[in-house]
Structure 1
């Protein structure tokens, strides 16, 4: 299931009290989706690493009051009956069987002993699959049957939209636009391999490294040797930022790049920086000069970041001229 579809389904499930489990490989953005849902609904988020829990943590510890034993609830569980939020158990199936068993009552009955989960809270869990070579324990059938299970699928178009919004380096976006299969390429024989998370690391490295040689050594540790060789080869031949800025300074007359990778670099650069007034204005003139297929991509990315771009005269003309491609 694509990330955007996962978001829609989770949004729908907020109207119920059924717990949800997200399955997927490491580094693809499962926890990011949960954080986004919580933020968009103005819900509190309690991120609990199930693998760090002890079987007795959820039950709490007993104390004596008036000759009777009373259980003190854990401080990390929500206590305000009027509060609303998401109780997120990450890495749940990396927790030992006894810890997983301690979640039986909470996930189904929304209570543990004397503790009752407030009505405004929803339970979401996530974990890696057995085939991901991660530390996992088989989930007991009794616990699995308490969840609605969703499989997280890496999707490049969803990632690109997220990357533009997040400000991921334009060279990362443009490179992966031509080598989409390298967005996620898990290799159990190496310590570093390409995932959406490790490409975000690469973006940060490019933004902060003083020189490409220093960046290359760090990138190698993030995405592995094979992907690094391809990416550095792309960087060696990619259009420079100076050339991109020259186009932005003269959007109506500057020569546009002819190589597909450089065209993607231009589109990513414009979309990720369209909050800048000069780039916002230049984007309309460049849009009018792009091939229709590339123009549609630029238009969609710009509208996602800046919806008011739809009012740009060049944008309105492009939409009218290529209505069939946009729908």
Structure 2
């Protein structure tokens, strides 16, 4: 399932308190999906890295009560009231004894004398066995307590998220040109870095921190691997030669219109971010000069940037002129 479908599934499971386990390769965004879905539903999130726990960390410490018997003091990180999401991240990387300690918490919503409040839902996540990550095979008794969902990367989903997360437009434009590099992970390859949604966010942050080309090149390689870094560095050179967006908006009929696919992806990304009802007349005139598929891309980006652009006369005229695209 792609991330937006996973989010919809979680919105279904949270209210009925059904535990779920998200499976996926490293860097695909499992933890972020859980956190963003909880935030969208205004649910507090308690994020527990199961791999860092010992069994006693969940059960708590013993003490002698007033009745002279041994009782257990539950850890402070376990919720006591209200509603929310208890997220056990990297659960299958935890030692078997820690996983065993989760049995009762997940199925019976209790652990010894501790009881999970009724308003809380348990969600877990982890890498797959074939990813060569640190994992321990999950006992079938524990696995049977979850609804299992496999997370797969999706470019359109990622672009939608990137527009709200202030990801550098150069990164978005490049991945539209080279979508296979959004997540290029092969566990059989001996490499420490590889392209993933997570590592492309690193690249975006690096672009905002320095413009030193030599340093950037090494940093990119350290985040996304040598091959992807070479391609992205070449794309950046092309990006920096694009027509100025102000010049395009000022003279959409005369401004240069690139023909090389990488450059067209880049100019569409740059212009889409400038979309407003006021700039739509210029954008639609420029879109008419691009190959049809790129004109559609530019208009889609414009509407995504500002939904009011879809209600302009300029957009309506462009849609009428390109009605065959929507047939």
Q: TM-score, normalised by structure 2?
A: 0.91
| 1:251 aligned residue | 252
Alignment of 1:286-297 (within 5 A): 286-297=286-297
| 2:110 aligned residue | 111
> Aligned partners of 1:148 and 1:5: how far apart in 2?
14
Partner of 1:88: helix, strand, or coil?
strand
* Unpaired segments ≥5 residues, structure 1: none
> Aligned partners of 2:52 and 2:130: how far apart in 1?
22
**What displacement does 1:211 show?**
1.8
| 1:167 aligned residue | 166
Q: 1:129 and 2:104 equivalent?
A: no
Partner of 2:120: helix, strand, or coil?
strand
Range with bigger deviation, 102-111 or 236-245: 236-245
Contact 2:275/2:309 (<8 A) preserved:
no
Contact 1:165/1:304 (<8 A) preserved:
no
Alignment of 1:220-239 (within 5 A): 220-239=221-240
Partner of 1:28: helix, strand, or coil?
coil
Q: 1:183 and 2:182 equivalent?
A: yes
> Aligned partners of 1:72 and 1:305: how far apart in 2?
51
Range with bigger deviation, 293-302 or 174-183: 293-302
**What displacement does 1:201 show?**
1.1
| 1:216 aligned residue | 217
Aligned length: 324
Contact 1:287/1:315 (<8 A) preserved:
no
When residues 233 and 9 of structure 1 are mapped into structure 2, their CA distance, relative to the original with a 3 A threshold, is: same
When residues 267 and 208 of structure 1 are mapped into structure 2, their CA distance, relative to the original with a 3 A threshold, is: same
Q: CA RMSD in A?
A: 2.2
> Aligned partners of 2:281 and 2:65: how far apart in 1?
70
Range with bigger deviation, 135-144 or 236-245: 236-245
| 2:265 aligned residue | 264
Q: TM-score, normalised by structure 1?
A: 0.91
**What displacement does 1:221 show?**
0.6
| 1:195 aligned residue | 196
> Aligned partners of 2:111 and 2:35: how far apart in 1?
25
> Aligned partners of 2:281 and 2:202: how far apart in 1?
31
> Aligned partners of 2:97 and 2:282: how far apart in 1?
60
| 2:56 aligned residue | 56
Partner of 1:103: helix, strand, or coil?
helix
**What displacement does 1:281 show?**
7.1
Range with bigger deviation, 152-161 or 141-150: 152-161
**What displacement does 1:64 show?**
2.0
| 1:298 aligned residue | 298
Contact 1:164/1:271 (<8 A) preserved:
no
Report Cα offsets for 1:198-230 as digits up to 9, x if no partner: 111111112221321121111111111111122
When residues 5 and 323 of structure 1 are mapped into structure 2, their CA distance, relative to the original with a 3 A threshold, is: farther
**What displacement does 1:266 show?**
1.8
Contact 1:270/1:279 (<8 A) preserved:
no
Contact 2:242/2:263 (<8 A) preserved:
no
Range with bigger deviation, 40-49 or 224-233: 224-233
**What displacement does 1:320 show?**
3.6
**What displacement does 1:129 show?**
0.6
> Aligned partners of 2:240 and 2:247: how far apart in 1?
11
